[in-house]
Structure 1
Amino acid sequence: MKRVIILFTFLLCISSCSDDFLEKKSDKSIIVPTTYNDLQSLLDNNVDVFNMDPGLGFIGSDDYTIEEMYWQYLNTPTERNAYIWNTEIYEGETGYDWNAAYKQVFYSNVILEQLDRLDPSEAEINTWNTLRGSALFFRSMAFFNLLQLFASPYHANDLEGKPGIPIRLTADINAPITRASLRESYDQVIADLEEALALLPVHAAYKTRPSKTAAYGLLARIYLVMRDYEKAKVFSDSCLVHSSALMDYNQLDPAKARPIAQFNEEVIFHSTQTSYGIRVDAYVNVDLYASYDNNDLRKVIFVRNVGGKPVFRGWYTGSTRLFSGIATDEIYLTRAECFARLGDKDKALADLNLLLQNRCANGTFVPRAASTAEEALAIVLAERRKELLFRNTRWSDLRRLNAEVNFATPLTRTLNGAVYTLPPNDGRFVYPIPPDEILISGIPQNAR
């Protein structure tokens, strides 16, 4: 009972550290957990700490629109300003996404340091390995998510002088805070996951816990963002070896409010996005909605009509929380894109058609065809857009595709007659670091 109280105190203390998280002080000598069960309990805190990803990328994306009357009454200035891509977004608010991600980093470091103090017996070594691999997975995912918001897009031939993020590898809150380079930041993300791969089980007992299969999937996502298509394909292959199921949308009931079940067979790793209020008032981008064929079941599974407006409901979470985890449909699309970019249009279309066959009404599926790899790539990217909406992948996709003339996308919003634009490669594709963090740590701010 005493251990439970201590652990609860630890969780309460850390959960309260939302402002200036990197600088908060705590008395770890009193509240640090000491047993494997304690450490697993920390990793299973998927409501307040882990299994949550930033939502600013979704807010800035073109997956949706909101009407002016709803925009005015959004919960926070951050949401209102991020929606119209203002240079300054916080208006004195702390940066929730920044703090939440570094809370995950801190938890992970506490767990890693405590594991280093333990001497596992032969009977305990698998538990020790899984805990260490899980902490490394979560730290890597947190760093990667931060890079998608607060650092420049990754281009292998343009890394010199590009700042990354603070890479915190210790739970010591007195350690100096500096921004690593962009290259060093991605190197750490990859290093954490590569070590985790050797430690994690192929499948986890629960989809909220990391696994080797999830690590393969996350590496595929990361290397796609890095535009390393050979490695993204390799890790997609490895992921799909262990988890390749696809739902047949003909078996789903569009009459249900939530047609897609939580922890369904496509989910490899469950994670959700920050619950910004903007998602409640969002309508699916009308051009995106119009792009679905009438025989495409995603048009009725992903969307319901509310007052003539297309409202998203294709959650892979079983609730109105937006999914941001890893699922097989994303991995098939990643591998298809890699095949196309590597010149193998037939394999690209084979992966894509396998997915689409499970998305079309029975008897209506017509396989996609292309005469060149470039044509296949355009088809794959169009379907990626339609499959992964509201998944928190679009912001990263916009950033990486802006480097390509054929796929660069200018963004536009209109509110009360005013037109707001975000051109490709604009500095506002990198969010500002919260000013309170700049004030305390002295790290350089992003130019916008």
Structure 2
Amino acid sequence: MKKLLYLLICVITPVAFTACNKSFLEVVPLGSQVASSTSDYDKLMNSPDFYQARGGGGWQEEVLMGDDLAAEDGLFSPVSQHMTRLFQWQDVIYYPNDAYQRQPLLLSSLMTNQYQLNKIINEVLNSSGGTDVQKRSIRAEARATRAWSNFQLINLYANPYQAATAGTDLGFPIITQTDITATVFKRGTVQEMYDFIIKDLTEALPDLPVVPSIRTRMSKPAAEGLLGKIYLFMGRYNDALPMLNAAFNDLGTASAQLYDYNQTMGTGGAFLPISTNYGPTKGPGNSYIDMTESVLFKVYYNAGFNGNFYGNNGLVLTPETAALYGASDLRLLLYTNKNPDGSLNAGGRLRKYGVQYSRYGLELSELYLLRAECKARLNDLPGAIADVETLRAHRMPAADAPVPATVAGDQVALIKFIIEERIREFAMEGYRWFDMRRLSVDPLFAGITFTHTLYKKDGSTMSYTLRQSDRLVLQLPYLFMQYNPGMPNNP
């Protein structure tokens, strides 16, 4: 692990993520280079592991647990036992006798990344050949990336944040060392992890570049937006809004841009033609390297099962989710009522076929919705409406973009409308799982329940209801517990 693998220091370009300097191999044999220069550590931050999820990783587990989707029996169940367990919110997802004794892919990926990030954080200031400014900037990027990783982990393996209980709720281990032989880790508390995440981001901000070399790497607006999101998820709206405003101010006009679906999906639009198998053929959902809307670019495979453990086979929108879209909402073009074999879905349900690759870093569309929600919760209704309508005007005809009058003047109704807009924008991409967790402890959503429906071939259905008392948290898998003896697991 301490060896600097050449494959992880390939120089990333906006066009291709695999452009490597061959002369490096001519000087140092593959696998034998140890990071020592500032340039080495800078190249480590270009590691594909920091922005692309292997196989079906990323948020595929979160996709399967979101209540914005249902499943078609016959297409869904035979694919993977893990998909079925996640869809049913079973107590145990990863059994010790499963093939290969697999860990959750996101957990495995993030834990590997933790070692690399900690190595950079702990060592780069003592590296050779760079300026102090360069070294501090690289360390800041690594710290902000570590904060992003820890935010994913705490939203899978610990209770949703509540100020009253965060000080006693079990968190996720805070790992700062680069000792790969360490086996004893303390889980600590949810509050300790959130404090650590905030500390990483806050202390990184002064040294982060406003404009990153490429948007797979952390920048000041990305870290500000992430910190604003975290404060929002903690219910600290007065702290969140300044950070979200700062993110927009630092983005300026030269970074992420919203696609206007009225143009890209209109006559002669850039996303056309629409394939009967994959939807808009040139849209970002079908282009692995499209960073246009990304403030922080991170991508994962989110299409049919291809041997990578997960997929979206058999997944469809729930009728309730489909009903959230207006008839003119161009995001509906990302869905089809046809099954993968071309036959019509008997119940008219929609599957998402226009997004093979989902972004889960920080998208500009989410930044607008985060700030809109924050403003609404602080009772700035006009400001909230302006932000949500900015997004909607890029997703449907201008005449249909305004927030309904029955909603615009009601704070609670507007907050709920913005949450629904998050579903419309990110349905079946994993975002809903994070929202389900935080809404479960939000007094405005008291009594909310979450269900999954499996539609059988004979027309009957089977329903599964999430137990909010314990299944909003995943158990730590067997292999993780095996190598961390004595660590308490989730129920």
User: Which TM-score band applies after superposition, normalised by the shorter structure?
Assistant: 0.7 to 0.9
Distance (Å, rounded) in 2 between the aligned partners of 1:203 and 1:411? 42
Q: CA deviation at 1:211?
A: 0.7
Find the counterpart in structure 1 of residue 6 from structure 2.
8
Find the counterpart in structure 2 of residue 84 from structure 1.
88
Q: CA deviation at 1:368?
A: 3.3
* Structure 2 residue ranges without an equivalent (≥5): 10-30, 266-271, 275-279, 303-308, 339-343
- Provide the secondary structure at the position in 2 that maps to 1:279: coil
Q: Which amino acid aligns with 1:347?
A: G
Identify which of 187, 202, 208 aligns with 1:194: 202
**Pairing 1:62–2:62 present:** no
The structure-2 alpha-carbon separation of the partners of 1:443 and 1:102, relative to structure 1 and needing over 3 Å to count, comes to: farther
Contact 1:272–1:323 (CA under 8 A) maintained in structure 2: yes
Deviations 1:350-379 (A, max 9, x none): 211222122222544444332222222122
Find the counterpart in structure 2 of residue 42 from structure 1.
44
How do 1:25-174 and structure 2 match up within 5 A? 32-46=34-48, 48-52=49-53, 53-75=58-80, 77-92=81-96, 93-95=101-103, 96-118=105-127, 124-174=131-181
The structure-2 alpha-carbon separation of the partners of 1:188 and 1:314, relative to structure 1 and needing over 3 Å to count, comes to: farther
Q: CA deviation at 1:59?
A: 1.6
Find the counterpart in structure 2 of residue 321 from structure 1.
357
Find the counterpart in structure 1 of residue 24 from structure 2.
none
TM-score (norm 1): 0.86
Q: CA deviation at 1:72?
A: 2.6
TM-score (norm 2): 0.79
Q: CA deviation at 1:80?
A: 2.1
The structure-2 alpha-carbon separation of the partners of 1:365 and 1:183, relative to structure 1 and needing over 3 Å to count, comes to: closer
Find the counterpart in structure 2 of residue 373 from structure 1.
411
Find the counterpart in structure 1 of residue 312 from structure 2.
279
Distance (Å, rounded) in 1 between the aligned partners of 2:336 and 2:328? 15
Find the counterpart in structure 2 of residue 339 from structure 1.
375
Contact 2:60–2:310 (CA under 8 A) maintained in structure 1: no
Contact 2:70–2:454 (CA under 8 A) maintained in structure 1: no
Distance (Å, rounded) in 1 between the aligned partners of 2:175 and 2:398? 51
Distance (Å, rounded) in 1 between the aligned partners of 2:353 and 2:76? 20
Greater mean alpha carbon deviation, residues 31-40 or residues 184-193: 31-40
Moved >6 Å (runs of 4+): none
Find the counterpart in structure 2 of residue 26 from structure 1.
none
Contact 2:52–2:299 (CA under 8 A) maintained in structure 1: yes
Q: Which amino acid aligns with 2:336?
A: R
Q: CA deviation at 1:174?
A: 3.2
Find the counterpart in structure 1 of residue 480 from structure 2.
437
The structure-2 alpha-carbon separation of the partners of 1:361 and 1:443, relative to structure 1 and needing over 3 Å to count, comes to: farther
How do 1:261-280 and structure 2 match up within 5 A? 261=284, 262-273=289-300, 276-280=309-313
Greater mean alpha carbon deviation, residues 275-284 or residues 322-331: 275-284
Find the counterpart in structure 2 of residue 24 from structure 1.
none
Distance (Å, rounded) in 2 between the aligned partners of 1:313 and 1:217? 29
Deviations 1:277-314 (A, max 9, x none): 232442233321222111221222x3234234422245
Report 1 or 2 for greater relative contact order, CA contacts < 8 Å, sequence distance ≥ 6: 2
Contact 1:106–1:171 (CA under 8 A) maintained in structure 2: yes
Deviations 1:53-84 (A, max 9, x none): 44322221123222221333224x32221111
Q: CA deviation at 1:206?
A: 1.1
- Provide the secondary structure at the position in 2 that maps to 1:65: strand
Q: CA deviation at 1:173?
A: 2.0
Contact 1:65–1:284 (CA under 8 A) maintained in structure 2: yes
- Provide the secondary structure at the position in 1 that maps to 2:247: helix
Q: CA deviation at 1:103?
A: 0.7
Greater mean alpha carbon deviation, residues 150-159 or residues 348-357: 348-357
Which structure: greater helix fraction? Answer: 1
- Provide the secondary structure at the position in 1 that maps to 2:122: helix
Residue identity (%): 26
Contact 1:54–1:145 (CA under 8 A) maintained in structure 2: no
- Provide the secondary structure at the position in 1 that maps to 2:74: helix
What is the root-mean-square deviation in Å for CA atoms of aligned residues?
2.6
Identify which of 336, 340, 346 aligns with 1:304: 336
The structure-2 alpha-carbon separation of the partners of 1:366 and 1:321, relative to structure 1 and needing over 3 Å to count, comes to: closer
